[in-house]
Chains A and B, each alone.
Chain A
């Protein structure tokens, strides 16, 4: 028993020495291995911890999914475990070498893709020109001269106080919502509803031809799928000018 205490003491001492050294360096190194060496470029980001609220309400998809990421400088990172934090509009990934979570430096991201069930989703980072230029992640539903993008966000709704499943009293509910945007390189992002009137108002000079084209193709624009088909038709008939 006494020798066990001695050994435990020695091991703790050694570990403490390492910790002290690591502290002096200002760099956490003890989880590194040869897989940490990526010659093509390194990931930049900020270490985060997820509290219960974020974990329950704000993350999409529901579980960590395999994904890949492309930086604006061309660096590509594959085999990541990622999730999208819809409330703060940040991309989160897990570093298995260091066993920590971090949010990826948004300014560097060009696009990321992940597998959501059987569907592969691609998000791109675009800048919205409002009063201040805002970087946003938007899902790319259709890419063309006019692209259809979706902004996933968390809508915070005030409700009568209630107790959640953990017994905590709450007065808000969170809902995952979507805003749709048309994107062109020239005009940037323009918010749009998924209906025919909104589509026609976006192309006022070609309204008659578009109306005729939709009628001929029996296309009733009322959801993502039909809007994508409508935009594809418009592009094929050069009506997106």
Chain B
């Protein structure tokens, strides 16, 4: 009897230990919240991520990603987290097929952790051109599904009225009292029954499939990775890669790849869509190819899926939601416009080649027909040599009181140029300013024997098209902070209002948190819910469902 008791005690202790271990693991996971269970292709999916304090050593840039059932990356965003929270959105592609998709989050520095755990969400996407949806996939592997515990006893959702009609204003409060929650999200939406039943939190094991990307902690910036190869042979190449980021202030950097041809750049404080110009430094006529490596993590194991029939009522609601989204877009416009905004302050507060010794503004002088005349008349300490149809430049070395014996670094609008012929036909009316650096400068391990920087009035950089081995790429960096707009349009009742989402906010009060929103013309079951997480990583939820007549 005594022995059986001992074994029972041991088993209980092991179980308790495992449970506490599971909680500790959850404590180190990012948890993703979405504003909806389903979306229509072309919609914007708004996300919030809870960032435990233990993870903040990995930096402050969280990557949010939308992945398909087969583990393909659909879309991703890098957002800056603020203390224990990150917010952002994913624009669901217009052509995305109907199906079940997954939202995850990770820090780049977590790549070195082997299998990375994250509590993400499954979301249904309905293609807006889908005519009749008969079957939809559901997750068969229930072990991956996280069912939050009930928080009915800890969180109270109070509404002022009991019955609501279309366009009514819903007012209420969320009372949380004393609780152990570290993060709470309140949301309200009209329920689409199929996705409401079959989507939710999921625990993902993710792995680094792009082994070349270093586990670099991104602090106020994003890591851009890529690979360089020989265009003829396809083999990896290890020539120096120069990066120029154009914008209000030009950013310059370099990377010397190893034999794998992989290169990485960190863009500090870069927000929006960066216009990158990558230039492998070619010796002779060698041609290169550059391919950027998307920064994402994939599921370790493919989940198993089953296919379920959609009943006629569910199909009708899905059809209505698709139509509603169409009308919403028609009357409200697209909430997120693809803007080319880009901001990146100069991290050095000065040009990468240092403060120029001379700054010349040709506009202040008489118009000169070509660069030869400009250099003769305006550029003191700069030699323009034209011998046997070959143009060479030389810069004065102030310190040594002689001219350097090699070409200076030549830049047009901050972009390195390796052919002097680009300068030949420049007239003084084309040029905004010219900077001359008359000393041997260093940038990291690069050395420049003088610098000639020509800033053109035309910043379009169309001249780049003429250069070989120049790759221009648009790359998304840190997302500008944006907020979802769930409010009705101001025009009033004359236009249909087909919103399905009404609220998605962090409950930041431990007492009474008031909320209000106006319903749309959509009838159905309205769910107001609060999802919460404890310090140990346990998920809770409570909700109130009311019928909108």
- Judge whether B446 and A44 touch: CB under 8 Å: no
Select A48's contact among B223, B399, B448, beta carbons within 8 Å: B399
Chain A interface size band reads 35 or more
Question: Which residues of B sit under 8 angstroms from A98, Cβ to Cβ?
Answer: 442, 445, 447
A18 to B283, CA, bound (A): 8
Digitize A96-126: 1 where CB-to-B-CB distance is under 8 Å, 0 elsewhere. Answer: 0110101001011000000000000000000
Counting chain A CB atoms within 10 Å of each CB, the highest count among B223, B347, B408 belongs to B347
Q: Tell whether A37 pairs with B256 under 8 Å between CB atoms, given A18-B283, A28-B446, A47-B442.
A: yes
**Please, what's the 1-or-0 string for B347-388, where 1 marks a CB less than 8 Å from any CB in chain A?**
111101011000000000000000000000000000000000
A24 to B256, CA, bound (A): 19
Closest to A18 in B: B283
Q: CB distance A27 to B442 under 8 Å? A: no
In this complex, what residue of B is CB-closest to A95? B445
B6 to chain A, nearest CB (A): 55
Task: Determine which of A22, A37, A48, A107 lies in contact with B406 in the assembled complex, contact meaning CB atoms within 8 Å.
Answer: A22
User: Which one of B110-118, B258-266, B294-302, B506-514 is at the A interface?
Assistant: B258-266
B48 within 8 A of A: no
**In whole angstroms, how far apart are the Cα atoms of A24 and B284 in the complex?**
11
Query: Which residues of chain B are within 8 angstroms of A46 by Cβ–Cβ distance?
Result: 354, 439-442
The reply to whether the CB of A32 lies closer than 8 angstroms to some CB of chain B is yes
Chain B 432-454 near chain A by CB (<8 Å), digits 1 or 0: 00000001111111111100000
Chain B contact residues, majority secondary structure: loop
A71 to B355, CA, bound (A): 16
CA separation between A29 and B239, bound complex, in Å? 10
- Which of B240, B399, B440 has the most C-beta atoms of chain A within 10 angstroms of its own C-beta? B440
Which residues in B have their C-beta under 8 angstroms from that of A42?
Answer: 253-254, 352, 443-444
Q: How far is the CB of A42 from chain B (nearest CB, A)?
A: 3
Which residues of chain B are near A25, meaning CB under 8 Å? 281, 407, 418
For A18, list chain B residues within 8 Å (CB).
283
Residues of chain B with a CB closer than 8 A to A23's CB: 405-407
- Is B207 in the interface zone, CB < 8 Å from A? no
A34 at the interface (CB under 8 A from B): yes
Q: Would A45 and B441 count as touching, CB distance under 8 A? A: yes
Residue of A nearest to B393 (CB): A26
Q: Which residues, 248 to 301 on B, are CB-close (under 8 Å) to A?
A: 253-258, 264-266, 268, 281, 283-284
A157 to B407, CA, bound (A): 42
Assembly CA distance A37 to B347 (angstroms): 17
Interface size of B in residues (CB-CB distance below 8 Å): 44
User: How long is the Cα–Cα vector from A98 to B443 in the complex, in angstroms?
Assistant: 11
Looking at A26, A31, A32, A75, the one whose CB has the most chain B CB atoms below 10 A away is: A26
Q: Is the pair B354, A26 in contact by a Cβ cutoff of 8 Å?
A: no
- Taking the complex as formed, is A171 at the interface, i.e. its CB lies under 8 A from any CB of chain B? no
Shortest A133–chain B CB gap in Å is 15
Query: Which A-chain residue is minimally distant from B223 (CB atoms)?
Result: A39
Partner of A44, one of B223, B408, B439, B443: B443
CB of A21 closer than 8 Å to a CB of B? yes
- Distance A22 CA – B447 CA, assembled complex (angstroms): 11
CB distance from B452 to the nearest CB of A (A): 8
Please tell me if the beta carbons of B446 and A27 are within 8 angstroms of each other in the complex. yes
CA distance A43 to B446 in the complex (A): 10
Which residues of A (24-61) have their CB < 8 Å from a CB of B?
24-29, 31-34, 36-48
How far is it, in angstroms, between the C-alpha of A47 and the C-alpha of B400 when the chains are bound?
A: 12
Give which listed residue, B240, B257, B268, B347, contacts A29 with CB less than 8 A.
B240
Any B CB within 8 A of the CB of A209: no
In whole Å, how far is A107's beta carbon from the nearest beta carbon of chain B? 7
Q: List 6 A-B contacts (CB under 8 A).
A: A26-B449, A27-B416, A45-B442, A72-B349, A73-B348, A95-B442
Given contacts A73-B268, A95-B445, A100-B447, 11 further A-B contacts (CB under 8 A): A18-B283, A24-B407, A26-B410, A31-B445, A33-B256, A37-B255, A43-B443, A47-B439, A102-B442, A105-B350, A108-B349
